[in-house]
Structure 1
Amino acid sequence: MTVPLIPSRPESLPEVHRSVRVPNAGGFLRKLLAFVGPGYLVAVGYMDPGNWATALAGGSAFGYTLLSIALLSSLMAILLQALCARVGIATGRDLAQLCRERFPAPVAYPLWLLAELAICATDLAELIGTAIALQLLFGIPLLFGVMLTALDAFLILWLQNKGIRWLEALIFGFIALIFGCFAIQIALADPDWGAVLRGYIPAASIVMNETQLYIAMGILGATVMPHNLYLHTALVQSRDYGRDLDGKREAIRFSSIDSTVALSLALLVNSAILITASAVFNTAGRTEVAEIQEAYQLLSPLVGTGAAATLFAVALLLCGINATVTATLSGQIVMEGFLRFRLPPVLRRLITRLVAIIPAVLVTWFYGTSGTAQLLILSQVILSLQLPFAVVPLMLFAGDKGRLGTLTAPRWQLALGWASAALIIGLNAKVILDLIIQE
């Protein structure tokens, strides 16, 4: 098969590039609605099955304590995604394209491999989560469900052919349903709201326990997610905004509002998972609940109604399907941006899923359902370890006055962004050091 090459300066996501019209006239709300959408596609990644595993493990084991990590991670994500919107709009390039153009090959190609690893780790969590949801709702064996998830490539192709607005509308609808499911679950769980609010305040002992740190890094990786940084820099270019300075400033403003609101909603969903786990399992003394299947089985007797378990499984299925969209788009952006060649979306999706299916099948075959939680959490820790290799390039481009000119990020954003990068690198180093010491 001949691989179709891409021009030296291609458009990012050419199928949807500048496909959404932005009105020249009209009020604030009308213009904002034209930019609403990319933020929700990005937010989907922050509520995928990997988040479920880390939130369930953290909530059942440590109560509401790790809510502070979820909040801190979300604030980092909001800041970094605002910088992604700025870089994508100001340069007209996505993060992968910028890395290819600005870094030498010995740097760019390892960054590509690490980005692909992050996408595969994300895909691993999605396929396991979707397979578990199919098992819980329809009784489909887990191993068969893992194989069945490969078929979602055709769903993605159909959605892409319908256009970016159709894709955004479907994703938004799914997010609304997920939010509704958890709103009902929290009402049924009846948590201690005073303890919930205190959980958002960082505790001094948060990193003194190695298990807490490991799960906290999983939450961080599941929330910020390196591939979403590549994704957002491309998605913001689907809007046909003015290419002059004022048009770009307006686009940065509205895109930042879009992503901030969407990620705030994602924080509520992530918090809801952890709050439910804490209120139902930790309060009842079930501090070892980490498997999604075990959580599903315990919800009904502990909450007192079967509806809680059903809503739990429905929300999980929607999260798995939702996150599949962003993984597919991210894979396309990373491959085309770094390597400058394009594969058909279905083929690209099947390759990514095949890489993720192999470890999932092996774990399912040898350990059954008992190994899925460890694999899900590990996949999110891998994402955390990959984060610096996306965040540091993003920060370099966000502060590049030669490239962005007057659109360079404000000093306070750069200061907070670099502080976030330093914190992520430091925590990753601590996790690696702990693992070495344990060996």
Structure 2
Amino acid sequence: MRGAKVSTTDPVATARPIPRAPWRASLALLGPAFVASIAYVDPGNVAANLTAGARYGYLLVWVLVLANAMAMLVQYQSAKLGIVTGRTLPELLAERMRPRARVLYWLQAEIVALATDLAEVVGGAIALGLLFRVPLPLGAMIVGGVSMALLAVQDHRTQQRFEAAIIGLLAVITIGFLAGLVVSPLSPPGIASGLVPHFGGPDTVLLAASMLGATVMPHAIYVHSALSRDRHRADPHTHVPPTAVARLLRGTRADVLIALGLAGLVNIGMLLLAASTLRGRQGTDTIEGAHSSIVEALGPLVGTAFAIGLLASGLASTAVGSYAGSTIMQGLLRRRVPVVVRRLVTLVPSVALLALGFDPTMSLVVSQVVLSFGIPFALVPLVRLASSRELVGAFAMSPWVKAAAWTSAGLVIVLNLALVWLTFSSGV
């Protein structure tokens, strides 16, 4: 398949509209986007959302709404690439690079994947400490062990089991993070005002950049193309009729809208909970401090539900992160490493940092800064490939969608560069 391109005379490239498939058929296509959506409710997002709500109330609700809309657009394009071409985003990039460039590209992607994994393992370890007073290094090893068990059930033949396990954890995350809203007094006027784009000073601009920039995760972009390809095209070399491709893409759009919509509600719910419960309280600049304030304000039951949601977030996100890292390595280096083995190897840095006493909150901050550098390397190629008629034929982005995609990519990149500069200039 090296260097293969889709001709404009290929049936896939000349697809025409077809009658909609029954809703049950579309329902059966759901799954891959739910796995990718875990990246949007990982411990890094928890920290950012709680900070925004605790410091500025409902002010930045609009940022999460905008970020979620952008995430839907980006994730659908990644899934589309996998379905239409039968190849993952890393594989498509490898076909267009010289060997040395492929290795260098893989190195930056690998560093970003490791940084993301660090935040996810640390978040799970913090949750175990909150629930059972488990020391952070031991908690990290437990999180790694459970994630290896999750990954052990995943392969091309059993992907739906993996998806079911991740969806189950997503349900726990949703309940755990939103349970407090049942007893927390929300302000409808405050929420309405937060939907109007505005800032409250330089600090809110920095925080908004962090929230928006951290939403579009590079590893989620890479992995969604693999998840959709593996689920819907077990043999990527087999020709898929255009009617089947169109049906798969309709199901994928529903998958993305539902999964990312749910993730967006969880994120917004966390900010609302922090705005109504943590506003003005001291010590909410860490996850542990925020949890303590939630317990104090809403009771131990809600605090326990929150900690369980955080644990589920760490477990699910680190499993998905390891899957993404394996996808990146296989696509760019053309070397397949068992994903469970990779999980074991990449766990070492997280455990080592925590064992050495590295501050867990600082780990989350540093990981987000490192992640920022990898976003352009994933977003720019994605938009170029997904809009190429030579590659995806009639399924290329329309001019309006292409403009929205480039605008989203440019906004995320600029805000992340600003975030990196402001982070370092402030002495972090």
Whether TM-score is above 0.5 comes out as yes
- Contact conserved, 1:217 with 1:381, CA < 8 A, in 2? no
Within 5 A, what are the aligned runs for 1:183-194? 183-194=178-189
State the distance in 2 between where 1:261 and 1:153 align: 25
Equivalent of 1:114 in 108, 112, 129: 108
1:301 is the counterpart of 2:296: yes
- Contact conserved, 1:39 with 1:262, CA < 8 A, in 2? yes
1:424 is the counterpart of 2:412: yes
Q: Counterpart in 2 of 1:170?
A: 165
Within 5 A, what are the aligned runs for 1:3-402? 27-160=21-154, 163-203=158-198, 205=199, 208-209=201-202, 211-240=203-232, 243-282=240-279, 285-286=280-281, 288-303=283-298, 305-362=299-356, 365=357, 371-402=359-390
- Contact conserved, 1:221 with 1:383, CA < 8 A, in 2? no
State the distance in 2 between where 1:156 and 1:183 align: 24
- Return closer, same or farther for 1:438/1:302 CA change in 2, 3 Å cut-off: closer
- Return closer, same or farther for 1:308/1:240 CA change in 2, 3 Å cut-off: closer
State the distance in 1 between where 2:415 and 2:205 align: 8
State the distance in 2 between where 1:113 and 1:388 align: 14
State the distance in 2 between where 1:433 and 1:324 align: 28
- Contact conserved, 2:47 with 2:287, CA < 8 A, in 1? yes
CA deviation after TM superposition for structure 1 residue 428, in Å: 2.6
CA deviation after TM superposition for structure 1 residue 213, in Å: 3.6
- Contact conserved, 2:218 with 2:371, CA < 8 A, in 1? yes
CA deviation after TM superposition for structure 1 residue 143, in Å: 3.0
Unpaired stretches in structure 2, ≥5 consecutive residues: 5-18, 234-238
Unpaired stretches in structure 1, ≥5 consecutive residues: 1-6, 11-24
State the distance in 2 between where 1:327 and 1:83 align: 19
* Range with greater deviation from structure 2 (248-257 or 311-320): 248-257
State the distance in 2 between where 1:337 and 1:223 align: 24
CA deviation after TM superposition for structure 1 residue 438, in Å: 4.7
CA deviation after TM superposition for structure 1 residue 435, in Å: 4.7
State the distance in 2 between where 1:154 and 1:180 align: 24
Equivalent of 1:403 in 384, 391, 411: 391
- Contact conserved, 1:51 with 1:270, CA < 8 A, in 2? yes
State the distance in 1 between where 2:148 and 2:420 align: 39
- Return closer, same or farther for 1:125/1:273 CA change in 2, 3 Å cut-off: same
Deviations 1:344-399 (A, max 9, x none): 2221111222233333443xx15xxxx32232133223323321110000011011
Aligned residue identity for 1:271: I
1:414 is the counterpart of 2:402: yes
TM-score after normalising by structure 2: 0.88
Q: Counterpart in 2 of 1:20?
A: none
State the distance in 2 between where 1:243 and 1:202 align: 44
CA deviation after TM superposition for structure 1 residue 170, in Å: 1.8
State the distance in 1 between where 2:353 and 2:206 align: 21
3-state SS of paired residue (1:103):
coil
Aligned residue identity for 2:109: A
State the distance in 2 between where 1:215 and 1:105 align: 39
CA deviation after TM superposition for structure 1 residue 157, in Å: 3.7
- Contact conserved, 2:213 with 2:415, CA < 8 A, in 1? no
- Contact conserved, 1:215 with 1:377, CA < 8 A, in 2? no
- Contact conserved, 1:118 with 1:383, CA < 8 A, in 2? yes
3-state SS of paired residue (1:116):
helix
CA deviation after TM superposition for structure 1 residue 320, in Å: 0.9
Aligned residue identity for 1:277: A
CA deviation after TM superposition for structure 1 residue 287, in Å: 5.8
- Return closer, same or farther for 1:30/1:327 CA change in 2, 3 Å cut-off: same
- Contact conserved, 2:226 with 2:327, CA < 8 A, in 1? yes
Aligned residue identity for 1:217: A
CA deviation after TM superposition for structure 1 residue 106, in Å: 4.8
Aligned length: 407
CA deviation after TM superposition for structure 1 residue 421, in Å: 1.4
Deviations 1:48-100 (A, max 9, x none): 11111111111111212222221111111000011112211111111100111
Aligned residue identity for 1:396: R
CA deviation after TM superposition for structure 1 residue 9, in Å: 9.2
Aligned residue identity for 2:300: G
State the distance in 1 between where 2:172 and 2:150 align: 20
- Return closer, same or farther for 1:306/1:423 CA change in 2, 3 Å cut-off: same
State the distance in 1 between where 2:123 and 2:211 align: 16
- Identity over aligned pairs, percent: 34
TM-score after normalising by structure 1: 0.86
Aligned residue identity for 2:93: C
